[in-house]
């Protein structure tokens, strides 16, 4: 790794949580405005984060921290690979590890809520994983390379050749960001019904690290969206922000659905739509 | 030196088998197994050294004409004995289909080999050829095999104790295991298709004998099923031999593999290749032939580990990979890939619905073998490299996992996943090893995932295959994730329980886990020294290449531009170490900070584990959470019939296509 | 400690437990979260689980059955934590004080930091109670630090 790459990686690791936290803060503000409330300050996620750091560390068993760190470190790994323009498929697999790590942590705890949350999270993974992989395949068919650097070398924006893949990617983004109607594993709202599901038994520093990972994931996914319009990249970033706004909108106007419904819809509609796009990519000589 | 090694690899296990059977003393048996283990390790090592020094990348054992004839007739004689025994088994257990299939094999075999009705039999003079692929198989057989046999020493003692046997049947058990090891070594070394057939049949018979070892009604029933389904493969095999002999004019396996580029994919050869693939499918328990492998799980666990996951079933995929250059890029290759991919996806789906640990492992084995066959069918150098690497990683990891489940079963008296809640408390040593084994089956940086990644990146030109692999890998994550979650469940313990295992079991588990990690960390050297020379030596069209550099792997196009890869595996390993090391050293949890899990405040006692809560009627109830199994979607009874029909159709299409070509 | 102490004041997560309230105080408590009062502008989030909560809001008087639950919930909260008793019943037992099964105010079960009187307490008063509790969090954090030493 050259010194230049190293610097880029370090900057990304430092900047992305800040960016992610800020975006989350904006999300909360916009959500509040949509509900006709004043809402918390933009910096609220950071207040929450530091407060959690200052809390007493409590736990149910002594292995929890291992999984939380796995969740965080692999997300950072994926982010570093993204900014260094590495293999897109490998990034997806590493993200999967990050997700699985949290699931292992949640189900390692003898709590019915956290176990049910973990089961639901596995189900959502099963739903979105194929779409992510299909997206990677679509990118390969469009650019002839699995490397992200290949996307930047490609003249035509990906969005022109992969509109439907993009749509289904947005669809699973709702699952991945745990927005309604798919926020049944753990939710940003509705603390009462789910009792935070997946993350119920993580508190203090551990919960703070999970929040941190969520921010990094958010930036990572924004980055993936902007890849669809990589020339010039600022258009891509703009599109990513618009998509984020749409996600917030969907979050606010939909009710929570069951996981059965999610798996069915994602496998039929999500995979189906992405497949249609990929089929025509194959038919274009 | 060369010849000694060859003889040691084949005849030493046979000798150990005889000794085990004759001398019934337990202590002597331990000595025999230990010594054979060490010698087999030495044999594997000897072959590695020899092959890496060999100038053309292969070791050739040439027989002169007279020896060849003698050995050939010996094998024919033994073949006849084998057929008679199988027929005897069929008659004894009144299983007509076994007898019928046996006769279907004997008649063409006798007409071809003994009476020469189909023309002259061209036995190759290079009777044994060892190249890198054979070497890898030898390593799997001669390293993992003895380790599992060694494990069986401790396991079988406990097993027989459990069954309350008065007369130990261990001599018979270990005899068959050793016969199997010898036959397997010979199978992967020989270059003569008809000899390979003989060893192939021996492994089939060993499989039957070991599955029915316990002698219960269900064991014999499942053993017979394994026997007849594998006999179907045997029938396909013997017809393939006849066709190969008349179309290529030789029985050399190397010649078959090289025939692809010479435009020989016409006439009778495609039919022969198709039949060989079907033989491979039966041996590797691909859909629709999978049922025997599931039934085979009644056998003692070392048998499942050795025969039904890490070595014997690999014989099928070995054959397919071996001949894959001959059909690379043809319609047959595509169909084989689809068939393998289908098995991968559907077996992974059914695995989700299983709560029996061994069944999950069985389905996962079927799925991974499917992926190997799929990679072989895709037919690029990269995909074949992926297939070979997957064979290695899968053999090590799955052998380990079967042993773990066996150990767990003896520890807690159940193989049901749901009963493994809180296993960490009872068996911490086994649990940690099991979890690492499971993670090595599905997550980076372990080898199985890397091969999956390679498979997807190289399958991009075949959309249907690609979709199947993608669905399969998503489903794989689900059933492993669920299982890992269950066995990791634990509450706070001030002190970890120390687990007591017999030496042989502990040694076997430790060695295998070291191999699992070493193979994954050393994937690049492993690829460069063992796999790459093999795929390069395959005669086939070049469509890009796979390069191992430093600690990373890169996929290159025809014009050498990189289109995929990762820079360093060390990175992942550091991350993995960090996630364990930080909590261990820097974040020690004090007992004072422990809280019981939240049960709506209705925890029944001050118990930290939170196992009980007070229900509305002021009754104390247990907290029970079960995994989702989704029986109504992925249930065995829901999917098997449909899957068998589709897979059967694919097999028929393969047959139809090769005959029509 | 500057930034953590500041954040603590800006992000009090509350957990609401109803002992034997007539639901009057509960309704007023939840009214704090509605757009009208919008407690989230102060960073107040109503979490459903003691493991994440900083402040426990209790309504209604303690009785023999729920005192166990109340204790459990309180014990499962990580330090620093505060308890706010909302309404006359939670403060003193209210009109149920003399009932055969009632133990009185919740102070008989867990230590209370802030009392919000009223029957029922007004949302403004409840928010004010929470803010008062926030002020106490820092003290508690000091205490926690000394204890761990």
Q: Which chain B residue's Cα is nearest to C72?
A: B601
Q: Answer yes or no: do A44 and C80 touch at CB < 8 A.
A: no
Q: For chain A, say whether B628 makes contact (Cβ under 8 Å).
A: yes
Averaged pLDDT score across all residues of chain A: 87
List, as own/partner pairs, every contact residues B590-596 make where C-beta atoms lie below 8 angstroms and the sequence separation is at least 24, other chains included.
B591/B492, B591/B494, B593/A56, B593/A57, B593/A58, B593/A59, B594/A58, B594/A59, B594/A60, B594/B492, B595/A58, B595/A59, B595/A60, B595/C51, B595/C75, B595/C76, B595/C78, B596/A60, B596/C76
Nearest residue to B393 (alpha-carbon basis) of B280, B538, B231, B516: B516
Averaged pLDDT score across all residues of chain B: 86
Q: For chain A, say whether B638 makes contact (Cβ under 8 Å).
A: no
Q: Which chain C residue's Cα is nearest to A206?
A: C52
What is the domain count for chain A? 1
When pLDDT is averaged across residues B338-356 and rounded to a whole number, the result is 92
When pLDDT is averaged across residues B320-346 and rounded to a whole number, the result is 90
Q: What is the pLDDT of residue B592?
A: 67
The tens digit of pLDDT for each residue in B137-175 reads 998 888 888 888 888 888 888 888 887 877 778 888 889
List, edge to edge, every strand of the sheet that includes B552-556: B545-549, B552-556, B562-566
- Give percent above pLDDT 70 in chain B: 96
Q: For chain A, say whether C48 makes contact (Cβ under 8 Å).
A: yes
Q: Answer yes or no: do C144 and A53 touch at CB < 8 A.
A: no
Model confidence at B263, in pLDDT bands (50, 70, 90)?
low
Contacts of B600 in chain C (CB under 8 A): 69
Q: What is the pLDDT of residue B14?
A: 87
Residues ≥6 apart with Cβ < 8 Å to B56: none
Model confidence at B264, in pLDDT bands (50, 70, 90)?
low
Q: Which chain B residue's Cα is nearest to C48?
A: B600
Residues linked to residue B128 through DSSP beta bridges, in sequence order: B61, B190
* A88 neighbors A147 (Cβ within 8 angstroms): yes
Q: What is the pLDDT of residue B645?
A: 93
User: Chain A closest CA to B408's CA: distance in Å?
Assistant: 18
Q: For chain B, say whether C69 makes contact (Cβ under 8 Å).
A: yes
Select the residue from A6, A9, A13, A61 to test the B interface by mutation, using most B Cβ atoms within 10 A. A61
**Maximum mean pLDDT: which of B590-599, B607-616, B630-639:** B630-639
B407, exposed or middle or buried, with CB in 10 Å at 0-12, 13-18, 19+? buried
**What is chain C's percent helix, strand, coil content, to nearest 5?**
50, 15, 35
Q: Which chain C residue's Cα is nearest to A29?
A: C41
Q: Which of B561, B579, B610 sits opposite A111 (nearest CB)?
A: B610
- Interfacial C residues in 16-55 facing B (CB < 8 Å): 17, 49-51
Q: Answer yes or no: do B628 and A123 touch at CB < 8 A.
A: yes
**Cis ω before A15 (30° cut-off from 0):** no
Alpha-carbon distance values, B237 to A235, B398, B661 (Å): 61, 27, 19
Phi then psi dihedrals of residue C115, to 5 deg: -110, 130
The tens digit of pLDDT for each residue in C26-55 reads 999 989 888 888 888 888 888 888 888 999
Say how far apart CA C125 and CA C115 lie, in whole Å. 10
User: Chain C closest CA to B608's CA: distance in Å?
Assistant: 11
Least confidently predicted of B302-311, B565-574, C22-31, C47-56:
B565-574
User: By residue range, what is the domain housing residue A167?
Assistant: 3-283
Q: Which chain A residue's Cα is nearest to B603?
A: A111
Q: B210 vs B261, which has greater pLDDT?
A: B210
Q: Which of A66, A111, A137 sits opposite B466 (nearest CB)?
A: A137
User: Chain A closest CA to B609's CA: distance in Å?
Assistant: 7
The structural domains of chain C, ordered by start, are 11-148 (3.40.50.12280)
When pLDDT is averaged across residues A250-277 and rounded to a whole number, the result is 88
Say how far apart CA B642 and CA B639 lie, in whole Å. 6
Q: For chain B, say whether A153 makes contact (Cβ under 8 Å).
A: no
The tens digit of pLDDT for each residue in B64-90 reads 888 888 888 898 899 999 999 999 999
**Could you please report the per-residue DSSP string of B531-585?**
IHHHHHHS-S----EEEEETTEEEEE-TTS-EEEEES-HHHHHHHHHHHHHIIII
Least confidently predicted of A57-71, A263-277, B228-242:
A57-71
The 3 state secondary structure assigned to chain A is CCHHHHHHHHHHHHHHHHHHHHHHHHHHHHHHHHCCCCCCCCCHHHHHHHHHHHCCCCECCCCHHHHHHHHHHHHHHHHHHHHCCCEHHHHHHHHHHHHHHHHHHHHCECCHHHHHHHHHHHHHHHHHHHHHHHHHHHHHHHHCCCEHHHHHHCCCCHHHHCHHHHHHHHHHHHHHCCCCCCCCCCCCCCHHHHCCHHHCCCCCHHHHHHHHHHHHHHHHHHHHHHHCCCCCHHHHHHHHHHHHHHHHHHHHHCCCCCHHHHHHHHHHHHHHHHHHHHHHHHHCC
Interface size, chain A vs chain C, as Cβ–Cβ contacts under 8 Å: 91
Q: What is the pLDDT of residue B253?
A: 87
* B539 neighbors B261 (Cβ within 8 angstroms): yes
Q: For chain A, say whether B428 makes contact (Cβ under 8 Å).
A: no
Helix (H, G, I), strand (E, B) or coil at C64: coil
Model confidence at A193, in pLDDT bands (50, 70, 90)?
low
Q: Which of A60, A144, A150 sits opposite B595 (nearest CB)?
A: A60
- Interfacial A residues in 186-215 facing B (CB < 8 Å): 195, 200-201
Spans of all domains in chain B: 326-540+631-661, 596-625
Statement: residue C4 has pLDDT above 80: yes
Q: Which of B596, B602, B618 sits opposite C69 (nearest CB)?
A: B602
Q: Answer yes or no: do A58 and C78 touch at CB < 8 A.
A: yes
Q: What is the pLDDT of residue A214?
A: 92
Statement: residue B342 has pLDDT above 90: yes
Statement: residue B345 has pLDDT above 90: yes
DSSP B603: B
Q: For chain C, say whether B603 makes contact (Cβ under 8 Å).
A: yes
Q: For chain C, say whether B601 makes contact (Cβ under 8 Å).
A: yes
User: Chain B closest CA to A67's CA: distance in Å?
Assistant: 7
Select the residue from B595, B597, B601 to test the C interface by mutation, using most C Cβ atoms within 10 A. B601
Q: What is the pLDDT of residue B468?
A: 92
Statement: residue B341 has pLDDT above 60: yes
User: Chain C closest CA to B37's CA: distance in Å?
Assistant: 54
Q: Answer yes or no: do C46 and A41 touch at CB < 8 A.
A: no
Q: Does this model's pTM top 0.90?
A: yes
Contacts of B587 in chain A (CB under 8 A): 57, 65
For residue B137 the two structure tokens come to: 């198989």
Helix (H, G, I), strand (E, B) or coil at C113: coil
Q: Answer yes or no: do B477 and A125 touch at CB < 8 A.
A: yes
For residue C85, the surrounding DSSP H or E stretch is strand C82-86
Give chains near A: 3+ CB pairs under 8 A: B, C
Statement: residue B642 has pLDDT above 70: yes
Say how far apart CA C18 and CA C26 lie, in whole Å. 7
Select the residue from B417, B468, B490 to test the A interface by mutation, using most A Cβ atoms within 10 A. B490
Contacts of A110 in chain B (CB under 8 A): 422, 489-491, 597, 609-611, 623
Least confidently predicted of B492-501, B523-532, B574-583:
B492-501
């Amino acid at each position: 790794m050259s010194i230049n790459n190293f610097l880029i990686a370090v900057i990304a690791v430092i900047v992305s949580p800040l960016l992610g936290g800020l975006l989350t803060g904006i999300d909360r503000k916009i959500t509040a405005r949509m509900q006709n409330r004043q809402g918390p300050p933009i910096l609220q996620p950071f207040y929450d984060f530091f407060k959690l750091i200052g809390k007493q560390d409590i736990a149910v068993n002594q292995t929890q921290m291992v999984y939380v760190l796995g969740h965080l470190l692999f997300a950072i790994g994926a982010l570093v690979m993204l900014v260094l323009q590495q293999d897109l498929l490998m990034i997806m697999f590493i993200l999967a590890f990050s997700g699985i790590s949290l699931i292992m942590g949640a189900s390692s705890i003898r709590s019915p809520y956290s176990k049910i949350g973990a089961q639901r999270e596995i189900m959502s993974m099963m739903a979105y994983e194929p779409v992510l992989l299909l997206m990677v395949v679509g990118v390969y068919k469009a650019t002839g390379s699995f490397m992200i650097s290949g996307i930047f070398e490609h003249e035509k924006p990906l969005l022109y050749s992969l509109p439907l893949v993009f749509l289904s990617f947005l669809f699973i983004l709702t699952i991945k960001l745990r927005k309604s109607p798919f926020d049944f594993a753990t939710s940003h709202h509705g603390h009462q019904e789910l009792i935070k599901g997946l993350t119920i038994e993580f508190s203090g520093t551990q919960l703070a690290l999970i929040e941190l990972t969520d921010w990094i994931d958010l930036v990572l996914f924004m980055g993936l969206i902007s890849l669809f319009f990589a020339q010039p990249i600022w258009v891509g970033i703009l599109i990513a922000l618009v998509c984020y706004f749409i996600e917030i909108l969907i979050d606010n106007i939909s009710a929570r659905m069951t996981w059965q419904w999610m798996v069915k819809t994602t496998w039929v509609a999500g995979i189906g739509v992405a497949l249609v796009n990929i089929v025509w990519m194959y038919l274009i000589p | 030196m060369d010849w000694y090694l060859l003889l040691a690899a084949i005849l030493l296990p046979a000798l150990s088998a005889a000794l085990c059977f004759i001398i019934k003393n337990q202590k002597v048996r331990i000595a025999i197994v230990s010594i054979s283990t060490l010698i087999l390790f030495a044999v594997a090592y000897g072959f590695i050294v020899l092959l890496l020094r060999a100038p053309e990348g292969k070791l050739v054992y040439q027989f002169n004409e007279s020896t060849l004839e003698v050995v050939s007739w010996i094998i024919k004689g033994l073949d006849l004995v084998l057929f008679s025994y199988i027929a005897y088994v069929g008659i004894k257990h009144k299983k007509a289909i076994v007898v019928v299939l046996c006769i279907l094999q004997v008649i063409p075999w006798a007409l071809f080999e003994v009476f020469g009705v189909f023309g002259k039999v061209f036995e190759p003079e290079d009777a044994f050829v060892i190249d890198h692929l054979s070497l890898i198989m030898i390593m799997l057989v001669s390293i993992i095999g003895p380790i599992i046999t060694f494990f069986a020493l401790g396991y079988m003692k406990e097993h027989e104790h459990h069954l309350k046997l008065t007369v130990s049947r261990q001599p018979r058990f270990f005899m068959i295991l050793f016969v199997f090891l010898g036959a397997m070594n010979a199978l992967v070394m020989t270059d003569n298709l008809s000899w390979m057939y003989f060893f192939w049949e021996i492994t089939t018979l060993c499989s039957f004998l070991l599955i029915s070892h316990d002698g219960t009604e269900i064991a014999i029933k499942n053993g017979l099923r394994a026997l007849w389904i594998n006999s179907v493969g045997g029938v396909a095999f013997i017809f393939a031999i006849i066709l190969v002999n008349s179309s290529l004019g030789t029985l050399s396996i190397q010649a078959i593999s090289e025939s692809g580029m010479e435009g020989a994919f016409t006439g009778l050869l495609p039919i022969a290749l198709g039949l060989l693939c079907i033989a491979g499918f039966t041996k590797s328990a691909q859909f629709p032939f999978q049922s025997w492998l599931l039934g085979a799980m009644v056998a003692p666990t070392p048998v499942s580990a050795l025969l039904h996951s890490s070595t014997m079933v690999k014989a099928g995929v070995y054959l397919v990979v071996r001949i894959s250059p001959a059909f690379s890029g043809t319609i047959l290759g595509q169909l084989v890939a689809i068939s393998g991919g289908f098995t991968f996806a559907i077996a992974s789906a059914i695995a989700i619905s299983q709560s029996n640990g061994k069944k999950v492992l069985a389905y996962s084995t079927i799925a991974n073998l499917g992926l190997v066959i799929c990679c072989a069918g895709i037919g690029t150098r990269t995909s074949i490299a992926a297939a070979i690497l997957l064979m290695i990683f899968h053999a090590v990891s799955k052998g380990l996992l079967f042993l773990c489940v066996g150990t767990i079963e003896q520890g807690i008296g159940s193989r049901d996943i749901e009963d493994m809640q809180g296993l960490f408390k009872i068996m911490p040593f086994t649990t940690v090893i099991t979890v690492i084994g499971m993670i090595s089956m599905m997550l980076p940086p372990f080898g199985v995932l890397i091969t999956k990644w390679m498979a997807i990146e190289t399958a991009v030109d075949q959309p249907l295959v690609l979709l199947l692999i993608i669905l399969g890998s998503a489903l794989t994550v689900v059933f492993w994730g669920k299982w890992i979650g269950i066995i990791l469940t634990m509450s706070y313990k001030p002190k970890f329980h120390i687990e007591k295992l017999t030496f042989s079991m502990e040694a076997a588990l430790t060695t295998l886990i070291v191999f699992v990690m070493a193979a994954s960390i050393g994937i690049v050297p492993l690829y460069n020294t063992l796999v790459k020379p093999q795929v390069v030596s395959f005669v086939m069209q070049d469509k890009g290449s796979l390069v191992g550099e430093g600690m990373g792997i890169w996929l290159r196009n025809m014009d050498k531009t990189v289109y995929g890869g990762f820079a360093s595996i060390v990175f992942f390993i550091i991350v993995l170490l960090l996630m364990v090391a930080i909590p261990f050293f820097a974040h020690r949890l004090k007992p004072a900070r422990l809280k019981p899990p939240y049960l709506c405040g209705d925890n029944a006692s001050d118990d930290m584990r939170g196992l009980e809560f007070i229900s509305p009627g002021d009754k104390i109830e247990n907290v029970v959470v079960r995994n989702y199994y989704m029986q109504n979607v992925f249930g065995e009874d829901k999917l098997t019939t449909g899957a068998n029909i589709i897979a059967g159709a694919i097999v028929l299409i393969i047959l139809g296509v090769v005959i029509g070509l | 400690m500057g930034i953590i102490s500041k954040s603590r004041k800006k992000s009090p997560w509350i957990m609401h437990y109803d002992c034997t309230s007539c639901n009057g105080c509960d309704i007023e408590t939840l009214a704090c979260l509605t757009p009208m009062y919008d407690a989230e502008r102060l960073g107040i989030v109503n979490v459903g689980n003691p493991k994440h909560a900083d402040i426990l809001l209790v309504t209604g008087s303690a009785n023999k059955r729920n005192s166990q639950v109340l204790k459990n919930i309180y014990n499962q909260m990580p330090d620093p934590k505060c308890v706010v008793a909302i309404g006359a019943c939670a403060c003193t037992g209210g009109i149920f004080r003399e009932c055969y099964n009632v133990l009185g105010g919740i102070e008989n079960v867990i230590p209370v930091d802030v009392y919000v009187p009223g029957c029922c307490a007004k949302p403004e008063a409840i928010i004010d109670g929470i803010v008062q509790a926030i002020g106490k969090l820092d003290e508690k954090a000091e205490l926690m630090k000394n204890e761990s030493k």
